[in-house]
Structures are given as C-alpha cells and as structure tokens.
Amino acid sequence: MTPPDQALLTIDLDALAHNRAVIAAEAAGAEVAAVVKSDGYGLGAGPVSRRLHAEGARSFFVARVTEGEALRAAMGEREAAIYVLDGLAPGTADRLAAARLIPVLSTLPQAHAALALAAARGRYEAALHIDTGMNRQGLTLEEARALTSAPGCLRALDVPLLVSHLGSATDPGEARNPQQLARFREVRSLFPDSRASLAASAGGFLGPDYRYDMVRAGISLYGGGPEERPDPRLKAVATLTAPILDIRDLRPGDRVGYGSAFTADRPTRVAVVAAGYSDGVIRAAMGKGYAWAAGGRRALLVVNMDLLVIDLGDASASPGDPVELLGARALLDDLAKAAGTVAHEVLVRLSSRAKRVYLGA
Ligand SMILES: *Cc1c(COP(=O)(O)O)cnc(C)c1O
C-alpha cells in the first residue's frame, strides 16, 4: 500500500458509541440526547447521528433550522425528535413544521409567536429554553411566570421539554452552578408536566442533582473531557494523521518558517509534516502544542497553511511515516489548551481538505 500523501481524518464511530455508553452510565436514569449542531461538531452530523440512533439515541439537538432540515433528511425513516436551539425565529415556522423540527423557544417574542400558532392550529409543540443565569438564550424566570399565568397560555402550548444551560459546568466548584440549579428548580415547578434538561456534557458529570430527565451531550460524545482536560474514560473519536515529508537537521541559530516562529538554540532534528492549519491544526498551538511521532510526544514548532514542523528529538523517522496530530495520543483537550481555545473549536475547525474515513459506519 502506498502511504497517504495527505492528512487523513479518521472518525471512529465505535469510539463515539463507547463515549455515549460512558455518559449514559454516569447519568444513569436520564436520557442521553445527542447535540449534533455544526455538522456534528465537524465530524458529520449524518453518520454521527445514525450511529447514535443505532445505540439508542432518540433526541437530537441542532442550532440552526437548516441543520435540522439536513438532519431530518439524513435520518430518513428513523424515529428522532430533532430540537432546534435557535427556536422559532421569524419566518421559520413552515420550515420547522415541514421537517418535523421542534423549536426550543428562546425569547419572549418567539413564545408569543408559538402561542399565536397554537391558537390558530389548536395545538403547537415547542420546547422552552429558560435562562437561569447564562444570559445568552432563554426566557427569564419572570417571563416564564408571566407566560404561565396568562389565561389559557400554558394549556395551549404543548411543552414536551424544558431546557436550561449551565455557564460554568466545566468548573464543578463554581458558585454559579448551584445558583443556576436553584433557579431551574423554581421554573420547573411552573411546568410540572414537561420533561427537564439542565445539563450538557459537563453538567452530566456534576452529580445527580443536575441530570433531570435528559443530558444534552455534545463534546463528551466526541471525546472532550467534561472539565476541559483529558478524561481517560472517554475515547478519541477524531484522529488526524499526516505523513512526514522531510527530515532536516538544524544548526544553532537556524530559523524555521516565517519570521522567527522558531529558532534552534542547539542542533535540532525536525520533521516537516504534510498538514497545516488548512487541515484544521490550529495555528495558535504553534510553540505550545505537541504531536505524536516516532513513539513519543514531539513539540509542535511551526504551523503553516500546508506544512508543520515538529521537533524529533533523538528519535529516528523517515519520510512517509505517519504523525498523529489529534487522536488517542495527541489529545484533543491538550491541543485545545495549547491553542488557547476549547475542544469544541478544535473539532469544528477540522477542515475538508483532510481525507475522511469513517470506522464503524
Ligand atoms: C452546544 C450546546 C450543548 C452541548 O454542549 P457540550 O458542551 O458540547 O456538551 C447543550 N446545550 C446547549 C443549549 C448548547 O448550546
């Protein structure tokens, strides 16, 4: 077999299934819904959702109506509740209905629009997003209260699910978590017949109080640790590898790449690798992150568009040898930290140039 000439993105759906099982065991008793917005965190909403459905997932969350339409098509005849986090945005009611998408109402005008539809049609199904302290999306407690006290309103709307989102769940010691929990308890009593979901991935690991009826799992399905650091219970779903193009020996004072990205202060053996930020390796990880090559972690010295350079140390390697830039040995959360970002962004930046292969589809 000829070695690949370009970056290869392998998406391991068996690892995805494993991660779902870990989350389900942790959140025992709660449904594990799959958050597949932004094309399944860049890994392909269709293949990801179909595999999760085979593992038992029946609820899916996307951000945009367009994403919901694409997911409905990708799911074919499969039974799937698809929730749209943007809610009932102006002009989208017919599209939501046509694709059988459930809007997650996130503003008061959206709630009023839903009530108008309920009045016109006799019934309207919509989930309700309540802002318990993240100040980004959702009705305030006061707005929710007003909605329930207006005569007939609550009965006119069919609210299968009450949603809120935690702003600091990756930090279990944060006082904001119990504050948001207390507000969620309060609002929940207003909608006693609705199911409730407060936790995303990180919240699902905060303990039983936070789980309610449904955990909306995103990043942890894809291998990102709930506390923004590697979690050995979770497996890497995305693996990015690329071949070495050349091995070079630098002398002290030699500068590599543009400007003064890296200057050797001693004799240094480096490998030039056929991948760059155009394949999704975040440039900001330059000088801070690592790759896995020749049996060990190798400092990421330079990241350019098409090429990157790693420090081989004492290891020997040859052109054509694979370098792992992300995966089971070049960890997602480590790369995110090195790049000064979150695992979510690392995944959604995995670009289309890398050749994609699905395992377990
Ligand atoms: C993105 C999102 C999630 C999933 O978050 P993760 O951190 O990826 O688990 C859950 N709920 C809402 C409202 C979101 O926007």
Task: Name 96's Cβ contacts closer than 8 Å, sequence gap at least 6.
Answer: 65, 68, 84, 88, 102, 103
Distance 202 CA to ligand 1 centre (A): 9
The residue whose CB lies within 8 Å of the most ligand 1 atoms, and thus the one to mutate among 22, 38, 39, 61, is: 61
The residue whose CB lies within 8 Å of the most ligand 1 atoms, and thus the one to mutate among 23, 31, 35, 82, is: 35
Closest residue (by CA) to atom 12 of ligand 1? Answer: 165
Phi first, then psi: what are they for 202, rounded to 5°? -65, -45
Distance 217 CA to ligand 1 centre (A): 7
- pLDDT score recorded for residue 351: 84
- pLDDT score recorded for residue 2: 54
Distance 290 CA to ligand 1 centre (A): 27
The pair of three-digit structure tokens given for residue 45, joined into one six-digit string: 């909403």
Residue 234 — very low, low, confident or very high, per pLDDT cuts 50/70/90? Answer: very high
User: Helix, strand, coil % (nearest 5) of the chain?
Assistant: 30, 25, 45
Residues of the chain with CATH 3.20.20.10: 13-222
Residue 242 reports pLDDT greater than 80:
yes
Are 255 and 262 in contact by the 8 Å Cβ rule? The answer is: yes
pLDDT tens for each residue of 18-44: 999 999 999 999 999 999 999 999 999
> Which 3 state secondary structure label does DSSP give 107?
coil
**Ligand 1 atom closest to 217 (CA):** 9
- pLDDT score recorded for residue 345: 97
How much is the average pLDDT of 151-170?
A: 89
Phi first, then psi: what are they for 355, rounded to 5°? -70, 135
**Ligand 1 atom closest to 222 (CA):** 8
How much is the average pLDDT of 341-357?
A: 94
Closest residue (by CA) to atom 4 of ligand 1? Answer: 218
Phi first, then psi: what are they for 199, rounded to 5°? -95, 135
* Beta bridge mates, 124: 157
In angstroms, rounded to a whole number, what is the distance separating the alpha carbons of residues 124 and 106? 15
Residue 147 — very low, low, confident or very high, per pLDDT cuts 50/70/90? Answer: confident
β-strands 262-263, 255-256 pairing: antiparallel
Residue 361 — very low, low, confident or very high, per pLDDT cuts 50/70/90? Answer: confident
In angstroms, rounded to a whole number, what is the distance separating the alpha carbons of residues 294 and 108? 57
Closest residue (by CA) to atom 3 of ligand 1? Answer: 200
- pLDDT score recorded for residue 3: 58
Question: Residue length, the chain?
Answer: 361
What residue has token string 């690592």? 290
- pLDDT score recorded for residue 67: 98
Pocket of ligand 1 (CB under 6 A): 35, 37, 85, 165, 200-202, 216-219, 344
How much is the average pLDDT of 148-156?
A: 75
Percent of the chain topping pLDDT 70: 99
CATH architecture of 13-222: Alpha-Beta Barrel (3.20)
Amino acid at 141: L
Distance 200 CA to ligand 1 centre (A): 5
Residue 359 reports pLDDT greater than 90:
yes
The pair of three-digit structure tokens given for residue 166, joined into one six-digit string: 């935690």
Closest residue (by CA) to atom 6 of ligand 1? Answer: 218
Question: Whose CA is closest to 223, among 30, 12, 8, 7?
Answer: 12
pLDDT tens for each residue of 8-19: 999 999 999 999
CATH level 3 topology of 238-359: Lyase, Ornithine Decarboxylase; Chain A, domain 1 (2.40.37)
**Ligand 1 atom closest to 35 (CA):** 4
**Ligand 1 atom closest to 344 (CA):** 8
Distance 130 CA to ligand 1 centre (A): 14
How much is the average pLDDT of 267-287?
A: 97
Catalytic residue numbers, as ranges: 37, 258
> Mean of the per-residue pLDDT values for the chain?
95
Distance 107 CA to ligand 1 centre (A): 18
The residue whose CB lies within 8 Å of the most ligand 1 atoms, and thus the one to mutate among 52, 83, 139, 165, is: 165
